[in-house]
Amino acid sequence: MRTALTLLIALGAVLALSLTACKKEDNSAGTSGVTDDTVKIGLFVSTTGDYATFGGDTKNGVDLAVEEINAAGGINGKKIDLKFQDTASKPEEGGSAAVKLATQENVLVAMGAVASGISLSAAPVFQKNGIPMISPSSTNPTVTQQGDQIFRICFLDDFQGAACAVFARKDLKKEKAAILMNQDDAYSTGLGKFFKAKFEKLGGKVVAEESFKAKTSEFNTQITNIKNANPDIIFVPAYYNDVALIGKQFRSQGVDVPLLGGDGWESGKLIPNAGPGTLDGCYFGNHYSQADDREVVKNFVANYKKKYGEAPSSLAALGYDDVYVAKKAIENAGAFDRAKIREALANLKDFEGVTGKFSIDENRNARKPISMLKIEGEKFNLVRQIQPGEVE
């Protein structure tokens, strides 16, 4: 009996061992997400839902970069095989997209998301699976705090919020700000908080602070409260679909002070949705300027226009840069190996991107200027750039 049991245990152990060996082999074949001539790279952004232009523009920029890289022979001889997941403008979709990219597609590295809420739901999955994730445009500080596999190539909301406050106080000489934010969105509440802290530090007063729930379409109460507080500027750290509605409703209630916002305003749909003239004289910050005359920007803008028949937004520019950052990191790593790629990303220095020349810091973030834009008709005109040093 005893010998039979020992034998059984031994057999079980051998079986378990051989199973793990098998699994290991399967994994190591796929760990790096590569075949003889391709390398799998994941992309997860929202091309449908409430803020579909974020993902649409980003994907256009990504596709252009992939096309260029593959036409030139790929990354160290392997063509990029882009694996795309639509996150449908829903935070919870970030997690499921990440599970698919990590466990089914077994991508070498992942790019995404745009909205911070979606990046926050995806990041723990990539962290757990040891897959470097590079967000092109999620600005909430907590995104890269999810773990040492999580990187971004854009500025952060503590900087962005403070820069908007500097702009309101010093450039526009405003004294009384109201804030209207989406209470269900980390990006919105974070940006509102950072704006408030700096605006007050600079001697301004926040005279009203109002919030709304996700999917709100009627802002009467908040607008009435803000109107009664008589602000001379209204900070709206929200995404373009909400901003268009909010702008219209402020104007129809007779409030005509300028609205100010962050990068979430940027969309080709902002002005069409808000209606002509509604947001004239309003301001928001974004990530790059088409007027930048560096060679890399001129080429990008020309090639993008040729391919899509329109000028690239900063989302497209960040998507484009994201692919080239991944390429550079893989090349610097010298191997299709996630741990080495993570190291290379952490050590990336002086990367010459369309959205600026930047390095990755010890917190896996980029430090970059913000461009403050003024809405005039259909146009977003550059007022000035604010450098990180100016708000610290």
Applying CB under 6 A, which residues contact ligand PHE? 54, 114-116, 137-140, 187, 263-264, 266, 314-315
Any residues with CB less than 8 A from the CB of 171 and at least 6 apart, and which?
Answer: 372, 383, 384
Q: Kindly tell me which of 57 and 63 has the beta carbon lying closer to ligand PHE.
A: 57
Task: Give the other-Cβ count within 10 Å of 265's Cβ.
Answer: 28
User: Residue 139 Cβ, how far from ligand PHE at the closest point, in Å?
Assistant: 4
In the complex with ligand PHE, the residue whose CB is nearer, 33 or 56, is 56
Structure tokens at 171: 């450039």
**Is the dihedral angle over the CA atoms 371, 376, 378, 381 positive or is it negative?**
negative
CB of 315 to ligand PHE, least distance (A): 5
Cβ at position 372, least distance to ligand PHE in Å: 14
Residue 103: name the closest of 95, 111, 114, 93 by CA. 95
Beta carbon nearer to ligand PHE, 132 or 285:
285
Q: Which position has the token pair 């209470």?
A: 183
Rg (CA), the chain: 23
Amino acid letter for position 198: K
Question: β-strands 379-386, 150-152: how paired?
Answer: unpaired
3-state DSSP assignment of residue 369: coil
CB of 96 to ligand PHE, least distance (A): 19
Minimum Å distance from CB 348 to ligand PHE? 20
Residue 280 CB coordination number (10 Å): 16
Q: How far is CA 352 from CA 114, 122, 125, 213, 295, in A?
A: 21, 27, 30, 40, 10
Q: Which is nearer to ligand PHE, 35 or 381 (CB)?
A: 381
Nearer to ligand PHE, 75 or 238 (CB): 238
Q: Of the two residues 2 and 379, which places its CB atom closer to ligand PHE in the complex?
A: 379
* Residue number, 140 or 222, with CB nearest to ligand PHE: 140
Min dist CB 362 to ligand PHE, Å, is 21
In the complex, least distance from residue 310 CB atom to ligand PHE, rounded to whole angstroms: 16
- Sort strands 176-182 and 205-212 into parallel, antiparallel or unpaired: parallel
